[in-house]
Amino acid sequence: MISVLLIRKMAGLIEIALSPSILVYLLLIYLISNAVSFVLNTLRPRAFPPGPKPTLGVGNLLQLDRAFPFLTFGSWAKEYGVDTPLGIKRGAANVVVLNSGRLVHELFEKRGAVYADRPWIYMNTWVFQHDLRPALFYNSSAYHTRWRREFNNNFGPTVITRLRPVFEAEAARLLVKLIESPGARGQQFEDMLVCWMISVSSLGVCGRRPDCMGDHGFSIKHFTSCNEAYAALLAPSAKDLLPFLRYLPNFLGMSEWKKKALDVRKGVIAVGDQFLSAAREQRAALDEGKPIAWESVLARMLREKREKGETMFTERDMGNAAFHIVATSTSAPIAYFQTMLMTLAKFPEVQKRIRDEALTVSGGAVPMATDIPQMKYLEAVWNEVHRWRPVAPQAVPHVPTQDDVYNGYQIPKGTTVIMNAWQIHHNEDDYEDPDKFDPDRYLRHPLGMRTDKAHDPAVMEAWGARPHYDFGAGRRICPGMYLAKQNFLLGLAKMLWAFEIHSADNKEIDLSVETGLVQGTALHPKDFDLTLKLREGRTKEDIMNHYYQTYEGEAEIMGWKNGEFR
């Protein structure tokens, strides 16, 4: 009798398990458990760094300034302590904000091995999948370490001196484009700047100028569009905050973002292949014994792969590396240079002072790369623009690879750790009148700080303080900062030798954070509209002659003959 009842109960359970309704129940249980887990995770972890009280279900999201969250972080820092990590909840995600250079040094520098990772962004899995490894966002690994070594071997401070003729010629070529397009404004002016900015990196990675690669299918306009589409995917999205959105079917466009990500992937691969194609051409020329002094990054990788059986980098890795190296020469750099030019138009006395210094150092001739180290005011302006209006006010976040404890505060593994460069640069305790644009602060103090006992330069430099934090910090600091500095300062010095920079139509230039700036991939001027006027005493012939002279040096190391690419 008992066995019959048991069989009947089991049969009933099997019937329920096989019924369509059980699937609905299981789905409901899954959704409810995930919802409960998500809501509970929006609460602050135990011993988390101090911060504002989160709202159940959303954390501190509704309290942040949507356009400029770094301003909100700064206001909270004043309440909870500038030198204390700030703990907030972005939905269910843990976020810690560092609002002082001291904290950056303690965590990103002293504990660099722990804080060397990047946040995991779900959207990137659809772009990179298993065969693309982006150095900027790739997790800490042997591959990333090797990649940075390869980059520094070709673009580090001790190597870029070999590329001086390229810097010289490409900056002079920019002057030619500007003189041949008088009245260029807005997008046309920006396009010229972009071509100049990516020329050095393009020549470095594959041996060809970006606007001379049409035979390899490359187009600057397409590359820029592809890079912008890729950058748009990098911001944390709802899919990172609400995981269930990842599994929605493509109904009424709910999963259209997946298609967009795959389209971006195709674009990244295609552009990478174009760089690799140009590099193969240089590799073949080198193998034939042609006199080319500069073996590009990809050409050398191809040689090592052939001769040494190098397996660390696949050919797809090589193309992807080229895409990212050149891409880093666009969005943030163009934003910075736009801000620099707008600043000089806003403060003509600063512009004149740079020009006077350049002419004094060069003896009235066109400024050259060897003159730049002697131009102290120019470097002060470089630092002050980075401090005053940083293009990366929150930098690129770091992530600890293990649970960490700082001053008794728990920072769990996987926490997004943000360096609030804006607050660091505008801290009244460190900078006198920080909202004022004042390059002279870097002539009074090597770090631009207050000239009091508390900010003694020797003491500040001993704990690792920097002139600015616009290039990041720690093991993930931007490896291209030396290349960018050399290129920008030389280009600016030559530009001011030839031209005066004015606001278009004598409009008032607004660079205030409230109304004059826009936060996209980088913080940049809302309205970039300037005009250039050839300086009195300068002629088109002066500019053309300077370019022809610098071209000869560039042609020699790139192996160009008979005016090729001139």
pLDDT of res. 278: 97
Q: What b-and-e string marks burial along 469-506, b requiring 16 or more CB atoms within 10 Å of the CB?
A: bbbbbbbbbbbbebbbbbbbbbbbbbbbbbbbbbbbee
* Count: domains in the chain: 1
pLDDT > 60? residue 17: no
- The mean pLDDT value for 61-65 works out to 91
Beta bridge partners of 132: none
Question: Per the domain annotation, does 239 fall within a domain?
Answer: no
Closest CA to 548 of 68, 430, 540: 540
- The mean pLDDT value for 255-273 works out to 85
pLDDT band, residue 255 (cuts 50/70/90) = low
pLDDT > 60? residue 254: no
Question: Per the domain annotation, does 33 fall within a domain?
Answer: yes
Closest CA to 482 of 115, 199, 200, 174: 200
Question: Per the domain annotation, does 29 fall within a domain?
Answer: yes
Other CB atoms within 10 A of residue 531 CB? 18
pLDDT of res. 42: 73
Q: What are 191's two structure tokens?
A: 């396009």
DSSP, collapsed to helix, strand or coil, labels residue 266 as: helix
Closest CA to 233 of 203, 268, 284, 201: 268
Counting DSSP H helices and E strands in the chain, the numbers are 21, 9
Tens digits of residue pLDDT in 80-95:
999 999 999 988 889 9
Higher pLDDT, 511 or 19: 511
What single string gives the DSSP state of each residue in 467-506? S--TT--GGGS-TTHHHHHHHHHHHHHHHHHHEEEEEGGG
Question: Per the domain annotation, does 529 fall within a domain?
Answer: no
- The mean pLDDT value for 219-230 works out to 91
pLDDT of res. 19: 60
Q: What are 337's two structure tokens?
A: 């240079």
The pTM (predicted TM-score) of the whole model is 0.89
pLDDT of res. 532: 94
Which range of 8-12, 27-31, 366-370 scores highest in mean pLDDT? It is 366-370
Look at 87-96, 232-241, 357-366 and tell me which has the smallest mean pLDDT. Answer: 232-241
pLDDT band, residue 36 (cuts 50/70/90) = low
Tens digits of residue pLDDT in 500-557:
999 988 889 999 999 999 988 899 999 999 999 999 989 999 999 999 999 999 999 9
Tens digits of residue pLDDT in 282-320:
999 999 999 999 999 999 999 988 988 877 888 888 998
pLDDT of res. 180: 94
pLDDT band, residue 355 (cuts 50/70/90) = very high
Q: Which residues line the annotated binding site for heme?
A: 478
Question: Per the domain annotation, does 392 fall within a domain?
Answer: no
Using CA atoms, how far apart are residues 14 and 161, in angstroms rounded to an integer? 76
CB 227 within 8 A of CB 330: yes
- Write down the residue that tokens 């590329």 correspond to: 163
Question: Per the domain annotation, does 465 fall within a domain?
Answer: no
Q: Which residues line the annotated binding site?
A: 478
pLDDT > 70? residue 244: no
- C-alpha triplet 40, 82, 58: angle, nearest 5°: 20
Using CA atoms, how far apart are residues 271 and 48, in angstroms rounded to an integer? 44
CB 88 within 8 A of CB 52: yes
pLDDT band, residue 236 (cuts 50/70/90) = low
Closest CA to 443 of 486, 361, 384: 384
Question: Per the domain annotation, does 16 fall within a domain?
Answer: yes
User: Amino acid identity, residue 521?
Assistant: T
Structural domain containing residue 36 = 2-95
